[in-house]
Amino acid sequence: MDHLEELKDFARLHARGQGMTVEHATRVLARITSDTTGDPDSWAAVWTAEGRAAADRGDLLDACRHYALARFPYPGDADRLSAQRLCVDTFDRWSRDQDGVERLEFTHIDGTDGTDGTVACWAAGLDRDRPLLVVMGGIVSVKEQWAPLLPLLSRLGFAAVVTELPGVGENTVPYGPDSWRTLGFLLDRLAGRARVSDTSMLALSFSGHLALRAAAEDPRIRRVLTVGAPVSGFFTDETWWPRVPGITADTLRRLTGAEDLDALRRLLPRFALTPEQLRQVRIPVRYVASGRDEIIPATEQALLRRTLDDIRFRTFDDVHGSPAHLGAMRRWLFSQLLWLRFARRRPRPASPTSPGVRPS
């Protein structure tokens, strides 16, 4: 499959995941004949034009959906960078008419490991007495895709924050083996605006990997819900890697700053979670798996079953992210989230070491 055809294949799935009809996505994709910057029939130009048309008719969220696809999989050229900016600016226009939706921006400074950068978020329902819910997408998902959920999450009683994986969208913190520490940084900054000691993570795909790693260290994270998260085998299994789609590999190369794909493959094993680290995750974990996942190997589920005390799976006969089962997937995740948060009130097991610190 060539580059443009692979882009179109992924876009059909991501368009469906954002609520676009198959018919509309098919019509748009049929007009795209290149991925050349400046070409009016190129990937970014056609999707951006659709976004502008939606904005002109006043449908700002629909415009954001199109801009998010225009910058897909990452803003590596001028046209995609423009689409990224339009996505943020258009969502900002939408948010001004939404009661309680606000933008947050934090500067992350860590001179010891070179992870300086900016973390941007959309938030709703912030209140120091409300439990925190952090929503984070994967390596190609911008926060504006998930932020329309904020009013609902606020009505459900959460202080809700939607943000991005390091290196994605407006998150300029580099993506690397220690990126999980960004979650602790975010909780530190939100202290006083939410009850961060009772944090739920709705972390999709690669951000689920960060959430699991952070939960092994940070007792403020009380539950993790994820969809298609890599754990270990994705990063280390040499027999699996040739199956990984080219767009996924290239996006990871871009986010990590690896020189080429060989350098990326040498780096990836440093991301893998060990059984010892996973055994420190003493909280409920809920995982949506896809039976035909082309990115995440099934061995990840087996590892989680062996190492986690409280893990439940919901498997759909679908590809990565289960885009054809979006409604059922969301219903299961939200039912699990609400049951874990409000119905099941069980104290978190105490750490065997000093308070607030668990061994890695």
Integer Cα distance of 286 and 227 in angstroms? 8
- The amino acid that residue 78 corresponds to is A
Largest CA distance in the chain: 61
47-60 average pLDDT score: 97
Taking only the tens place, the pLDDT of each residue in 183-211 is: 999 999 999 999 999 999 999 999 999 99
Neighbours of 106 (CB within 10 A): 18
| Confidence band, pLDDT 50/70/90 cuts, at residue 45 | very high
The 3-state secondary structure of 314-344, one letter per residue: EEECCCCCCHHHHHHHHHHHHHHHHHHHHHC
* pLDDT at residue 358 in the model: 36
- The 10s digit of each residue's pLDDT in 18-34 is 888 889 999 999 999 99
Q: How high is the pLDDT of residue 359? A: 33
Percent of the chain whose predicted confidence (pLDDT) is above 70: 93
pLDDT value, residue 353: 39
Is 116 in contact with 108 (CB distance < 8 Å)?
A: yes
- The DSSP string of 181-194 is HHHHHHHHHHBTTB
Residue with tokens 């990224």: 84
Omega of the bond leading into 73 within 30 degrees of 0 (cis): yes
- 345 — pLDDT class (breaks 50, 70, 90): low
Indicate whether 113 pLDDT > 70: no
Residue 81, CA atoms < 13 Å, CB-side half-sphere: 5
Q: What pLDDT, on the 0 to 100 scale, is given for residue 356?
A: 37
Residue 12 burial by CB count (10 A; 0-12/13-18/19+): exposed, middle or buried? Answer: middle
